[in-house]
A and B are shown apart, each in its own frame.
Chain A
Amino acid sequence: MTTTPATENLQTFEKRLLDPGFELTLRPMRYPDFYEHYRNAIKNTWTVEEVDLVSDVADLPKLSPDERHLLGRLVAFFATGDSIVSNNLVLTLYKHINSPEARLYLSRQLFEEAVHVQFYLTLLDTYLPDPEDRNAAFAAVENIPSIREKAQFCFRWMDQVEKLDSLQTKADRRRFLLNLICFAACIEGLFFYGAFAYVYWFRSRGLLHGLATGTNWVFRDESMHMDFAFQVVDTVRAEEPDLWDEELGEQVTAMLEEAVEAELQFARDLCGEGLPGMNTDSMREYLQCVADQRLARLGLPVRYGSENPFGFMELQGVQELTNFFERRVSAYQVAVEGSVSFDDDF
């Protein structure tokens, strides 16, 4: 991570990240960190064909009715969640984040979202052999109230900026920031993190390893997306310190509270009376803990002070050691550089 004394770069501040337009100049590069994000993302390339769902199919008949209900809802959410994120990326983020290197990253993110959509589509086709069931799952946004409520939360924040052609005023820019934070902190950073918890809960019971494998990679991608979005926020705040006032902070906190509630009503639908190791109360603590992290990352006071109750989520940050007899190692890098030599240090 690098910082350069601001005095050296005063002239570059004349152009700012959210200024309207379609900047094309990549040299000199103004935001190399965004370009690094782009390059790192490419190293994480994976394809749906690498995920093996065979053992999942064998697991499905073993599920209890409660587990089956939970899984059905979960998959239905996944079916549409990433598409909503893609739409907002195209309609809003790409338009307004005026830096070619950032747009490189956003293009890459768009590809990743497409892979996620394809993964969940493949998952659904595999889990639900009956075409009627598949159709019902994709119609979840309309038919299942607990999913509809989450979707409406997303649409509300999309609608607020959709009509904006350019960010001319401070009010426009604040609205944009709220949209960006909504998608990074609430949708990718909370709704998806909630969904990941169910997946890893299944795995902690030895079930649905294919889903977990694909989710590992989705999780890695989403972590990057969130990190990028927060860097955009940081950059905008550094360039235009007066945008971020107390009111905006309060709005962000309120938005996260609302997201926690939306995800909680989803949890009530999924967990019902509770399953071994997974119930609404634990989910509440988990979501609150995640929300606190998002707030902290944005420099806001934490709201809940809750602790993570899910041991299996603690494992997510830790290094993998996969026995290749069992699963593919998901850790390989894609881009490699250099040329043949015999005296490099190793």
Chain B
Amino acid sequence: MTVIDTAVIDTAVPTQQTAVPRPASGDGPGAALLRTVTERSAGLPEVDPGRVAAAALRGRSAAADYAELRGLAMEAAAALIAEDPQYSRLAARLLAEEVREEAAGQGAICFAASIAVGHREGLVGDATAAFVAEHADALDAVVDPAADDRFEYFGLRTLYSRYLLRHPITRQVIETPQHFMLRVASGLQVGGDTASVAEVASLYALMSRLEYLPSSPTLFNSGTRHPQMSSCYLLDSPLDELDSIYSRYAQIARLSKHAGGIGLSYSRIRSRGSLIRGTNGQSNGIVPFLRTLDSSVAAVNQGGRRKGAACVYLETWHADIEEFLELRDNTGEEARRTHNLNLAHWIPDEFMRRVDADTQWSLFSPGDVPELVDLWGAEFDAAYAKAEAAGLAIRTVPARTLYARMMRTLAQTGNGWMTFKDASNRAANQTALPGRTVHSSNLCTEILEVTDDSETAVCNLGSVNLGAHLGADGEMDWERLDATVRTAVMFLDRVVDINFYPTPEAGASNARWRPVGLGVMGLQDVFFKLRLDFDSAEARALSTRISERIMLAAYETSADLAERLGRHVAYGETRAARGQLHIDHFQVEPTWPERWDALRTRIAETGLRNSLLLAIAPTATIASIAGVYECIEPQVSNLFKRETLSGEFLQVNPYLVADLKARGLWNAETRESLRAANGSALEIPGLPADLASLYRTAWELPQRALIDLAAARMPYLDQSQSLNLFLASPTIGKLSSMYAYAWKVGLKTTYYLRSRPATRIARAAAAPAIPVATPVSTPVAVEDESVIACSLENPESCEACQ
């Protein structure tokens, strides 16, 4: 067995961990490994180091060295997470050690050294490198030696495989997770003095405690030579002409290359069959152009880290709507399919009213009604009626027929998101002046900003980890939440200035509006910790209060920033400048009315630094880094695997495990029940009613509750929220009822419809002893209707009882 050169590495490892025990000469590989694993299991009483070591030894290859054994031990520990969540911590510790060694091997023996290596290799930007070099000692002292131990395995694995900077040639990491966080914070410094070091330290402290994380593009790119740190770009529809269509492709490619997600309207492009004056031919409509966009998006790889992604928005009156609905089908003519694009409907209220009234709906080619795209509310309704009266419609369809098709597409593809044009514009701060229109949302349906041909809207995001903001008394620590929001907003605002803008249209828009999107993650964690059912009135009240508090603190901060640094250029064009705040569009009784009054007065004096401040993004990856549930979402399963580019990992709900342990119910039988029930806790034998209720999954909660929670926080969100809805077996009836309700309660946007696979994969290797009494395909009398109805309407449950 090969032993790696310990001389180099032991000195290289920062002092935050005890030195890695190395196999002494003459020690067998088994004993050495067991020693390492035992030491790394300190404080994890449920972990059995012997089991981990034995599994690692079993899988080793003939040429196994220490690094391979440690890697196998890590995988073995990860495989046991479903048995006890503490194995996740062990796996994370082993991985952290590996990462530190790898970084040290590249010269990153401290933060300043890591930055120096990154700068030498052309990755870290000059300004950040100079700042760190000047304050090297002070910044090195900021690094929290204990912080790596806060990671769960999934989070650290994600950081390691995707976020840490790598040497361009060796592909080894050149920063540890803590160097990485401090690099991100340092990339957002301004001033370069010791006060800046203190500010950087305050952001780093939030990040290293996993209390707040900026969005992925900021994590990827802050402090680098191309600091493109914004998550979202929203583009208006190309104009109805070839040059405009092709210049949009180029804009999108540039934005996508630097890790931005794209939202794009296509509502201005004439529909199929429209006359093309220049050639006297007929247009093929939007589909061929979207097909080109599809290929273009797939071709652009975001710095090798993830594929580009875009969502196309189409207004519901566009005459190509039916072909639009088929774009993601996996049958039919490939030339009319776009497998990489996400699709969303930009729906005027008038359409929903006609669905409700069961009347006809007119479809137009934008060339005939160019004004519709820029109108909303009553003006849209009037223009639409006028166009109908003028006989401009290409054709009409029953509104419900089209609505049913929209529902079917949602069920079949999860795509074709329902977003509401009028609700999105009505309360928008940026739409005070006529002609200012929100034309679409973004890739994840949480951003709502105005666009036009010369302005590409931009938003940079970050999310507060709510689960980390409970006080020692177990209640929300409101003051600490305020403090986190203040720091977060200050740095989100800085991104606007430091950001690298891939297109002039994006830079132009952001300089004027300075919107940011502060969101949340870990709401489910809060509910679990406080033992609140997701659909309870208490949960809804708390969730709403949290959103209110965040909005207050964010707006107060933006007013402070306006006082110090100036209001944003287009402030005069906003509703806020007219004394109208977002909550004024809703009938609500705030929890902190005095603070609202004070804020109102303050804004009247100072104005605002940012036109928009809040948006709840999906947080898929950063929530996994923080080890909490995603944004405002209920848990999807008590047991699930996460598939990421770094492999598959199993996750089990640690709150449930703790509760079951406390009641003596965490055993092999329970675990098998969880697996057999696909992560549902409801079938655990002897499960007390309070736990059964608390640990329902998204599939088991009434979706009405999710919508009600979302609607209740809507007054306190100046943009929107990525709201997924979950129906295990969707039907047109359920879907149409659900989305009509979402519209009625005033949601601006919804996101994916999640449904479940029609059938499941047979367990590859469950416990061998399966009962012999297998069900038999017995011929049944055809008269027995109830029997057949059961199996036809509910294939899932029938699968489950086999």
Contacts and interface: CB of A to CB of B under 8 A. Distances in A.
Contact of A9 (B59, B702, B780): B780
Given A4-B780, A311-B78, A47 B765 contact: no
Given A293-B770, A319-B679, A314 B650 contact: yes
Contacts of A171: none
Contact of A296 (B403, B678, B768, B782): B768
Contacts of A45: 330-331
B738 A346 contact: yes
A230 B776 CA distance: 9
Interface in B402-460: 403-404, 407-408, 411-414
A342 B733 CA distance: 7
Interface in B715-749: 727, 729-738, 740-741
B668 interface: no
Nearest to B358: A340
B277 interface: no
A264 to B, nearest CB: 16
A275 B309 CA distance: 36
A335 to B, nearest CB: 8
Q: Interface residue tally of chain A, by bracket? A: 35 or more
B703 interface: yes
B724 to A, nearest CB: 11
Contacts of A13: 779
Contacts of A330: 757
A324 B724 CA distance: 13
Contacts of A12: 779
Given A290-B765, A293-B766, A317-B764, A326 B61 contact: no
Contacts of B768: 289, 292-293, 296, 302, 304-306
A36 B732 contact: no
A105 to B, nearest CB: 11
Given A13-B779, A332-B412, A314 B765 contact: yes
Contacts of B679: 318-319
Contacts of B764: 193, 196-197, 290, 308, 313-314, 316-317
B779 A30 contact: yes
A227 B736 CA distance: 34
Given A27-B782, A235-B777, A290-B765, A277 B62 contact: no
B643 A49 contact: no
Contact of A320 (B408, B643, B734): B643
A62 B774 CA distance: 46
B17 interface: no
Interface string A155-169: 000000000000000
Given A293-B766, A332-B414, A319 B75 contact: no
B161 interface: yes
B775 interface: yes
Given A28-B781, A223-B762, A340 B733 contact: yes
A4 B784 contact: yes
B554 interface: no
A9 B781 contact: yes
B644 A326 contact: yes
A31 B779 CA distance: 5
Interface stretch (A79-87, A202-210, A253-261): A202-210
A305 B72 CA distance: 24
Given A36-B798, A40-B758, A49-B339, A325 B414 contact: no
B661 interface: no
A311 B76 contact: yes
Q: Interface residue tally of chain B, by bracket? A: 35 or more
Interface stretch (B103-111, B135-143, B786-794): B786-794
B75 A333 contact: no
Contacts of A282: 58-59
B639 A234 contact: no
Given A223-B762, A320-B640, A336-B412, A331 B757 contact: yes
Report which residue of A2, A40, A46, A286 has the largest number of chain B beta carbons within 10 angstroms of its beta carbon: A2
B731 A344 contact: yes
A223 B737 contact: no
B759 A220 contact: yes
A39 B798 CA distance: 13
B59 A316 contact: no
Given A196-B764, A299-B772, A325-B306, A28 B412 contact: no
B794 to A, nearest CB: 11
Given A209-B645, A314-B79, A325 B309 contact: yes
Given A319-B678, A331-B755, A312 B648 contact: yes
Nearest to A223: B762
A36 B792 contact: yes
Contacts of B61: 273-276, 279
Nearest to B674: A318
A346 B734 contact: yes
Nearest to B652: A318
Given A36-B798, A302-B768, A341 B736 contact: yes
16 contacts: A1-B802, A3-B776, A4-B779, A32-B780, A44-B758, A50-B330, A232-B777, A276-B61, A279-B59, A296-B770, A297-B774, A314-B764, A333-B412, A338-B732, A341-B733, A342-B737
Interface of B: 55, 58-64, 68, 71-72, 75-76, 78-80, 82, 161, 261, 298, 306-307, 309, 330-331, 334, 337, 339, 342, 355-356, 400, 403-404, 407-408, 411-414, 620-621, 636-637, 639-650, 675, 678-679, 702-704, 727, 729-738, 740-741, 752, 755-766, 768-770, 772, 774-782, 784, 787-788, 790-792, 795, 798-799, 801-802
Given A205-B647, A318-B675, A340-B400, 4 more contacts: A32-B791, A40-B799, A206-B646, A332-B411
4 tightest A-B CB contacts, nearest first: A311-B79, A43-B758, A308-B765, A28-B782
